[in-house]
A and B are shown apart, each in its own frame.
Chain A
């Protein structure tokens, strides 16, 4: 039996002084293999051209379409409606600046954080176009790629108790990203330099251990392991520093 789905969708247009945050209801007949990508586009095409949301790759790869789906952050394009109850409630991700309805500004947030944590390989070596590449163990390449798989969808930030309380918290995203550089021998940053970026309450010591981040990561990146690893390294460092000074 095909179901009729009821969507409760958060509406608010910050560009319009008359707009007030409210929930709006839409109904839609469900069909085979329907995802929230298909459903939201149908609502916009058939019922309400003003509804704002973001999609790009629609294949779970680019991270554009994260939203809060029945209370839980996730990617809309990979969410099949059959796996949801008949009533589907959609909110924009918290923490990020709202653009309108379900659309939030993750771009600016991640750009700022990437600049802050200097998310790039730091090396003194010049690239030599004539030389062959430096060698690397394949297992290490895989390990780095594993942490590099993050798609900056923002789910981990939206699910994070600390990030919702303090604006300057760097979040699981940043810790994982730095862990990626930490294990990469091409990055010449010292422990001290990593410590200076995340060895504080803004970084690894701000986490309350609620584990929301890893639960919602659509790429199933072991965020808690990375946090633990970086925490241990950073704690050791602060211990050593304590002894020295």
Chain B
């Protein structure tokens, strides 16, 4: 088997992985990125709307600064975030946006003078300042006090990923695409890289690294209806859980985006509502102001998604062969705005839905969108449980999003975390002598070889990988969706346990020389089931409602008993995940309170027990 040695192995070449790689390569370390697809096809490219940084250049962002951004982020998280991390994030985001401009991102810019904008279907005038002309501008997104979301038309993720990939190429980062990590190499204390499968040849390759990073993005594909790419199956999280000693943080925190389109589940950006789009029901009545008089369509995503579901449950959704939905209306923004600033939206509507959004309404409903939960790290990005292993981006629980992340904060997280954690990886490499252990390499290799052999021979049974995956996706939709309750969750956990057992008996029903697509899927299914179980079981045990985690039977946010973060482990020999809990944050710069939108049903914490600090003065 081919063995490749490197200083740094980045598993994942989306924005987070590449940004870390750039930091390591700039410090002179040999760096390899693995990716299932060519790096530029990573799902970061699909982000349309933009990324948040408190530059405050637009007149609508006047008075913005990292304190306001920090507060919005912590409120958005429903006080689930690590406030030290949220602080690092908010302070660093403006620098990183400017760095991206320096590297070539064609950010949209402030144009001095009067122009119009829409809020909730009404037209308003604003006047941009002369002295800000030509600086990076911003648009409105949900859950923010200011216009703070920097963008390049509606191809922000694309433009930023291409720029960052250009930079990585310039820095000599090596890209091994069509390569899927299958198992970590470790000895229970240190991590030494990973064994990966080549998706061109089906052959295994061992990557031995002094430092390893997991930046494999989200795991939305455990749900049937998701805006995520087909490759977002949690491979990175699964190989961590597989060690038995690395926990998932807050796996139950799953974001549903208000505007997944029906029936394809393709996202249309929050920018639609940020730019003034409205939500209508079956009677073409605008219902959000009735629920959220202040923020209306621009309350945080968890709130809007819940209100939409609530409204559809009253029978006011639009019936369709694909289930109920609501309408998104952007007609009033006009042809020019729609075909320039929202062009991807225009393309998606015309190509996939047969709707022209200039004249017609867009069918939407809440759809799985983002994994707040992820591999738990400390504020340096170091993964709990193994030395030499780091995680960043959507794959990680760093944890600035807590139980709900704000639109535009996740793209920004990838590059901010990439820079911060990249620096920590470099520090680690400079400060440590790594001795590889050959026995752990052999261990990992033989484990994965055996898994592959068993699948080919059907040593354990005759189950079909696809059937199991499909059943799991249905269970997650039905029992672990937006509104949750004990009965459904218990049911879901039980059904998932049965599937997990069946998954031990998967057999391939085809044989192909080289890379068999059925093998690629079969190798993923057991890991996806682990993630699904952590999500469902974490949700069952958390008897409160916080951020995106909504329990019908426990509607209160319970700061008295549940102001904590779930840590879910998959220990060898145990069917159910083992759950532990930790404080969400070492310090409270912003003590728990009302978010300013959504219902306020809080059972308060004993504030005297919380470590409340004043804002660190800079």
Whether B515 is near chain A, meaning CB under 8 Å from some CB there, is yes
Report the stretch among B77-85, B162-170, B446-454 that lies at the interface.
B162-170
* Contact in complex: B517, A51 (CB < 8 Å): yes
Q: Residue on A with the closest CB to B201?
A: A15
- Shortest C-beta distance, A92 to chain B (Å), equals 14
What is the 8 Å Cβ interface bit string for chain A, positions 6-22, against chain B (1 contact, 0 not)?
A: 00000001111001000
The answer to whether the Cβ of A78 comes within 8 Å of any Cβ in the partner chain is: yes
Give residues of chain A (1-52) contacting chain B, Cβ–Cβ below 8 Å.
Answer: 13-16, 19, 32-33, 35, 44-45, 48-52
Pick from B40, B45, B152, B466: contact of A145, CB under 8 Å = B152
Contact at B98–A132, with CB atoms within 8 Å? Answer: yes
B514–A186 CB distance below 8 A: no
User: Is residue B110 contacting chain A, with contact meaning CB distance below 8 A?
Assistant: yes
Measured between beta carbons, the chain B residues less than 8 angstroms from A129 are: 95, 98-99
A49 contact from B103, B106, B344, B509, Cβ within 8 A: B509
Task: Give, as a whole number of angstroms, the nearest-CB distance from A203 to chain B.
Answer: 19
Q: Report the minimal beta-carbon distance from B202 to chain A, rounded to whole angstroms.
A: 7
The answer to whether the Cβ of B1 comes within 8 Å of any Cβ in the partner chain is no
Residues in B with CB closer than 8 Å to A60 are 347-348, 351-352
Whether B517 and A56, one on each chain, are in contact in the complex, defined by CB atoms closer than 8 angstroms, is no
**B108 within 8 A of partner (CB):** yes
Given contacts A13-B512, A16-B514, A50-B517, contact A57 B45 (CB under 8 A): yes
Contacts of B353 in A (CB 8 A): 33
Digitize B508-542: 1 where CB-to-A-CB distance is under 8 Å, 0 elsewhere.
01101111111000000000000000000000000
Do the beta carbons of A16 and B111 come within 8 Å of each other?
no
Question: Chain B contacts of A108 at CB under 8 A?
Answer: 177
A-B Cβ contacts below 8 A, count: 192
B314 to chain A, nearest CB (A): 27
Contact A145 B155 (CB under 8 A): yes
In the complex, which residue of chain A has the Cβ closest to the Cβ of B44?
A62
The distance from the CB of B105 to the nearest CB of chain A, in whole angstroms, is 9
Looking at B68-76, B128-136, B549-557, B559-567, the stretch in contact with chain A turns out to be B128-136
Contact present for B167 and A49 (CB under 8 Å): no
Given the known A-B contacts A58-B266, A119-B166, A127-B102, are A149 and B466 also in contact in the complex, defined by CB atoms under 8 Å?
no
With known contacts A61-B158, A137-B134, A114–B103 Cβ distance under 8 A: no
Task: Assess the B202–A136 pair: CB atoms within 8 A.
Answer: no
Interface assignment of A236: CB less than 8 Å from any CB of chain B:
no
Shortest CB-to-CB span from A58 to chain B, Å, is 6
Q: B263 to chain A: which residues have CB within 8 Å?
A: 33
A210 to chain B, nearest CB (A): 26
Say yes or no for B101: interface residue by CB 8 A criterion. Answer: yes
Asked whether B512 lies within 8 Å of A16 as measured between CB atoms, the reply is yes
- Chain A residues, Cβ within 8 Å of B134: 135-138
What does the 1/0 interface line of A85-108 toward B look like (CB < 8 Å)? 000000000000001100001111
Range of interface residues on chain B?
35 or more
The smallest C-beta distance from A106 to any residue of chain B, in angstroms, reads 6
Q: Does B595 contact A (CB under 8 A)?
A: no
Which residues of B sit under 8 angstroms from A144, Cβ to Cβ? 106
Tell yes or no: B358 within 8 A of A by CB: no
Number of interface residues of A (CB under 8 A): 65
A119 and B167 CA atoms in complex are apart in Å by 9
Q: Chain A nearest CB: distance from B450 CB in Å?
A: 22
Asked whether A121 lies within 8 Å of B166 as measured between CB atoms, the reply is yes
State whether B230 touches A105 (Cβ < 8 A): no
- Please report the C-alpha to C-alpha distance between residue A96 and residue B97 in the assembled complex, in whole angstroms: 35
A107 touches B512 (CB 8 A): no
Q: Tell yes or no: B38 within 8 A of A by CB.
A: yes
CB distance from A218 to the nearest CB of B (A): 9
Confirm or deny: B256 has a beta carbon within 8 angstroms of a beta carbon on chain A. Answer: no
- Tell whether, in the assembled complex, residue B517 and residue A125 are in contact, meaning their CB atoms are under 8 Å apart: no
Instruction: Please tell me if the beta carbons of B45 and A45 are within 8 angstroms of each other in the complex.
Output: no
Question: Is A111's CB within 8 Å of the partner chain B?
Answer: yes
Closest to B48 in A: A61
Chain B residues with CB under 8 A of A32: 321
Are B45 and A61 in contact, CB atoms less than 8 angstroms apart?
Answer: yes
Whether A62 contacts B37 by the Cβ 8 Å rule is: yes
Q: Is A200 close to B, CB under 8 A? A: no
Q: Within the assembled complex, what's the spacing in Å between the Cα atoms of A137 and B134?
A: 5
Given A33-B354, A57-B46, answer yes or no on A121-B104 (Cβ-Cβ < 8 Å).
yes
Is residue A151 within 8 Å, beta carbon to beta carbon, of the partner chain?
yes
A127 (CB) vs chain B CBs: closest residue:
B102
A75 shortest CB reach to chain B, Å:
9
CA distance A80 to B166 in the complex (A): 33
CB distance from B571 to the nearest CB of A (A): 33
Complex: how many Å from CA A149 to CA B43?
Answer: 16
Knowing A107-B177, A111-B175, A121-B103, the reply to whether A49 touches B37 (Cβ < 8 A) is no
Q: What is A's interface to B at a CB cutoff of 8 Å?
A: 13-16, 19, 32-33, 35, 44-45, 48-52, 54-64, 78, 80, 99-100, 105-108, 110-111, 114-115, 118-121, 123, 125, 127, 129, 131-138, 141-142, 144-145, 148-149, 151-152, 184, 186-187
Ranked nearest first, the 6 interchain pairs of A and B with the lowest CB-CB distance are A15-B514, A135-B134, A107-B38, A120-B166, A16-B513, A144-B106
Q: Which residues of B contact A (CB under 8 A)?
A: 37-43, 45-46, 95, 97-99, 101-104, 106-111, 133-137, 152-153, 155, 158-159, 162, 166-167, 169-170, 175, 177-178, 200-202, 229-231, 263-264, 266-267, 321, 340, 344, 347-348, 351-354, 466, 509-510, 512-518
Taking A59-B267, A111-B177, A119-B166 as given, write out 12 further A-B residue pairs in contact, using a Cβ cutoff of 8 Å, ordered by the A residue number. A49-B466, A56-B231, A62-B45, A62-B46, A108-B177, A127-B98, A129-B98, A137-B109, A138-B111, A145-B153, A148-B106, A152-B40
Interchain Cβ contacts under 8 Å between A and B, 24 examples: A15-B515, A33-B353, A45-B466, A48-B510, A49-B516, A50-B510, A52-B517, A58-B230, A58-B264, A61-B158, A62-B42, A100-B514, A107-B38, A108-B177, A110-B38, A114-B166, A120-B104, A120-B170, A129-B98, A133-B101, A141-B106, A141-B109, A142-B106, A148-B155
